[in-house]
Amino acid sequence: MKILVTGGAGFIGSALIRYIINETNDSVINVDKLTYAGNLQSLKEIDSSERYTFIHADICDAQALETIFSVHKPDAVMHLAAESHVDRSITGPAAFIETNIVGTYVLLEAARKYWQGLEEAQKDNFRFHHISTDEVYGDLPHPDEWKEKCELPLFTEKTAYAPSSPYSASKASSDHLVRAWQRTYNFPTIVTNCSNNYGPYHFPEKLIPLVILNALQGKALPIYGKGDQIRDWLFVEDHARALYAVITRGEVGETYNIGGYNEKQNLEVVQTICKILDEIKPQETSYSQQITYVADRPGHDRRYAIDASKITQQLGWKPQETFESGIKKTVNWYLNHLEWVENITSGAYQDWINENYEQR
């Protein structure tokens, strides 16, 4: 199978491509705009593979997409290209509307036009897999608020959408577009919604890599509010395996929630990282002494938690990593790849991109 992956230089996209090239016989066409969070060095281990092709393009560029589909003739699309940082969406929502909504529309139309021109057998096998987030569901009751004598509720595939931020609203919009194209045009789409990912090659603006690197640099470890916000954490390589299971065995028109079954308060996550660093790279005082509390984010969702029973029962996927094993692997990876971090945060990587790729 030849798979077109959008956003393949990003955190989840690069993990997916590494998995496909290393663990399967399929080929990948990676289409990425190379924004600040896209990093081709995340794909260095597979970029010489004959089954891998990189194309520098913007999913909002209809002409570029038409050419890509015409030349490379993919059997499936896995759409991960997106702006994804909630804080950035609050201060600058326009980029999220453009990429996540308009870009998804342009990609859908380019893919649909290509699909309509395929022979019947190829049309039957074609898939458009849209990768989304659990944040489209809003938030769930927090243990502090839940008075009933039963288990706390989880997000299921039938949970109503109630996005809280410009980011989650833009992703909810893109989910609706994908489902509308399936219902209106009979276009073969599948949607997945995942919980918070973590692991190697994560751009250091997100919580876990930010805390690891700030701790090592002696900087403050900022915690929003009381740090009691709860997230379900999913190791990115487990997510990559789930996505491949969906594109190869998932049913057209279905939605699959992907979660790690690891609900943790943000403060607990930060304290766990500090404890690991205290053990493997000790300093005079515990890294936990660097924890500071800052004003909470506007509209901050208090709890996310995924019910991933559908994908487990129907496709046989379940996470291999516990949070304890995954976070240790993640901390050790950053300790062993500080040069990678320095390269992408110092501007050296962006200078290389500017020298080697025409900016669209």
What tens digit of pLDDT does each residue of 61-119 get? 999 999 999 999 999 999 999 998 888 999 999 999 999 999 999 999 999 999 999 99
Q: How many CA atoms lie within 13 A of 350 on its CB side?
A: 8
Confidence of residue 141 (pLDDT cuts 50, 70, 90): confident
For residue 25, the one-letter residue type is N
Q: Is 134 a catalytic residue?
A: yes
Q: Is 265 helix (H, G, I), strand (E, B) or coil?
A: strand
Per-residue pLDDT tens digits for 114-127: 999 999 999 999 99
Q: Is 357 a catalytic residue?
A: no
Residue 303 pLDDT: 94
From the candidates 114, 167, 256, 349, give the one annotated as an active-site residue.
167
Residue percentage of the chain with pLDDT more than 70? 95
The pTM of the whole model exceeds 0.75: yes
Check: CB of residue 81 under 8 Å from CB of residue 33.
yes
Q: What's the whole-number mean pLDDT along residues 11-39?
A: 95
Q: Is 238 a catalytic residue?
A: no
The domain ranges of the chain are: 2-356
Residue 323 pLDDT: 97
Residue 11 pLDDT: 95
pLDDT tops 60 at residue 193: yes
Q: How many CB atoms lie within 10 A of CB 111?
A: 23
Per-residue pLDDT tens digits for 263-316: 999 999 999 999 999 999 999 999 999 999 999 888 788 999 999 999 999 999
From the candidates 58, 83, 135, 238, give the one annotated as an active-site residue.
135
Mean pLDDT of the chain: 93
pLDDT tops 90 at residue 145: no
Check: CB of residue 196 under 8 Å from CB of residue 230.
no
Would you say the C-alpha torsion 305, 311, 312, 317 has a positive or negative sign?
A: negative
The helix (H) or strand (E) run that includes residue 184 is: helix 166-185
From the candidates 58, 83, 134, 321, give the one annotated as an active-site residue.
134
Instruction: Name the pairing type of β-strands 230-235 and 263-265.
Output: antiparallel
- Which class for 138: exposed (0-12), middle (13-18), buried (19 or more C-beta within 10 A)? buried
Distances (CA, A) of 347 to 46, 117, 125, 214: 24, 43, 43, 18
Q: What's the whole-number mean pLDDT along residues 39-60?
A: 96
- Tell me which fold the domain 2-356 belongs to: Rossmann fold (3.40.50)
